[in-house]
Structure 1
């Protein structure tokens, strides 16, 4: 089992923040999060592209190359693999692995489940160590039927998926049903309107992703700050200093040099992890 896979079997769920560039990833990692994911919406929107556009393939790979050398464990939102050809998806996954990514999200878009299963099998063959998080969109794009969701996820775990992901699912009863009937660890997308992180943990969820939430919150904060200045008010909320952001560009392969304000530290219940010579080493932090 890899260091990244181990994070899904820990005492507490893996709380996964999703970054959209190097600065956001390094600042999040400096708070003690052992793994950082990417957000496809953040990557696409930052480049003026819609989420899901095939044009984001190279942007996604480029970001993986930028982040893959950092001491946190990187997992990449790869949409549907940017192709319907399993071999092409596998080649893209192999390049992500070579860039330093240790996980990949592959979504089915409610397409034929057999085709998605073929992509998963091809990826595991091309990059056996890459953690494949197989996403189904039954609750994101469909009618949210738990039986159909279970059928797709079971097929994906049989195809070799290491984890399964159901964005849009917030009903505790349905979450419990999936946890009880699946072998692969379940990933749920955090929603401010849904269960809290402790509640999701109690339900048996093993991974909690933030998706595009942090990116959207950052956009909202920028607009609100400008509105405050225009109204003669002082912007509210914490912001890194100019020097702190400037220091990020001087870091080579390390997120530990980001300055912290007094009293700042890792989030409660997190687990730090690093990879040395391919071996994961983790320790609890609080």
Structure 2
């Protein structure tokens, strides 16, 4: 199925990847017709009162991945830095998920790791799971360390040489920077959705995947507070998905999920 997922990363028609934080949100997004569904490590961590990218969320992320394997579309899972330093442990974890893709970032605790360390993780994952789509996240702009296009491309190319199927560069980049990266990196480039560019504009810049990241989870929190404040202040209750529909979404794949 990883091949099927990879084929969704098309030039001129980027994959828009919504990121879910639980079973109901993932099923709802798949039912809305998205070609694939990802997960957000922040959303999963926040559910358990943990910090994003904490290695303590490795098991919650794995459990969610197992419950999403029966979705009628490819699934990609955000595994932070792989939740381990040793390449073999990262490969073992990735193999245990049973999904179509993983996103692995090259920073730990807010700092970039050496290029060779992350490249070794990617190589180990690809050796163990050749069909898994590995999206190598380059965190130069995200953590504000070596935040130049040159450094970003250098890291990205090393990860591609190690076997990465795609490269993800989160952070606020301008159009010229995005174009430089997509022109230099020989695999699909992924950026975050933002208010700076439409999907069509990103397509023209050479982007092949646009991830929502934690945006949907954060927007859901904003909307929940907005509704609660409105009720408190005298507004009527707004329309919402029915109780029964949420029950159905949350349990649709329960008989077949691990």
TM-score range, shorter chain: over 0.9
Name the structure 2 match of 1:259: none
CA offsets per residue over residues 184-203 of structure 1, 9 Å max, x none? 100001122x2111111111
The answer as to 2:73 corresponding to 1:75 is no
> Runs of 4 or more off by more than 2 Å in structure 1?
none
Contact 2:11 2:206 (8 Å CA) reproduced? no
Match for residue 209 of structure 1 among 205, 211, 214: 211
Cα deviation, residue 170, structure 1: 2.6
Cα deviation, residue 20, structure 1: 0.2
C-alpha separation between the residues in 2 aligned to 1:20 and 1:211?
A: 10
Q: Label 1:241 to 1:180 Cα distance change in 2 as closer, same or farther (>3 A).
A: same
Cα deviation, residue 252, structure 1: 2.8
Alpha-carbon RMSD: 1.5
Q: Show the 5 A alignment for 1:124-203.
A: 124-143=126-145, 144-192=147-195, 194-203=196-205
Name the structure 1 match of 2:7: 6
Match for residue 221 of structure 2 among 219, 222, 226: 219
* Higher deviation after alignment, 10-19 or 148-157: 10-19
C-alpha separation between the residues in 2 aligned to 1:119 and 1:42?
A: 24
Contact 2:12 2:203 (8 Å CA) reproduced? no
CA offsets per residue over residues 241-286 of structure 1, 9 Å max, x none? 11211222442379xxxxxxxxxxxxxxxxxxxxxxxxxxxxxxxx
Unaligned runs of 5+ in 1: 255-286
CA offsets per residue over residues 90-138 of structure 1, 9 Å max, x none? 00011013xxx10000000111011000000000001111000000110
Cα deviation, residue 56, structure 1: 0.3
Q: What SS does structure 2 have at the residue aligned with 1:204?
A: coil
Contact 2:27 2:250 (8 Å CA) reproduced? no
Q: Label 1:244 to 1:88 Cα distance change in 2 as closer, same or farther (>3 A).
A: same
Name the structure 2 match of 1:242: 243
Q: What SS does structure 1 have at the residue aligned with 2:8?
A: helix
CA offsets per residue over residues 205-230 of structure 1, 9 Å max, x none? 00000000000000011101000000
C-alpha separation between the residues in 2 aligned to 1:169 and 1:175?
A: 10
Q: Show the 5 A alignment for 1:81-160.
A: 81-97=82-98, 101-109=99-107, 110-143=112-145, 144-160=147-163
Name the structure 1 match of 2:19: 18
CA offsets per residue over residues 22-41 of structure 1, 9 Å max, x none? 00001111110010000000
Cα deviation, residue 52, structure 1: 1.2
Q: What SS does structure 1 have at the residue aligned with 2:100?
A: strand
Name the structure 2 match of 1:269: none
Contact 2:120 2:162 (8 Å CA) reproduced? yes
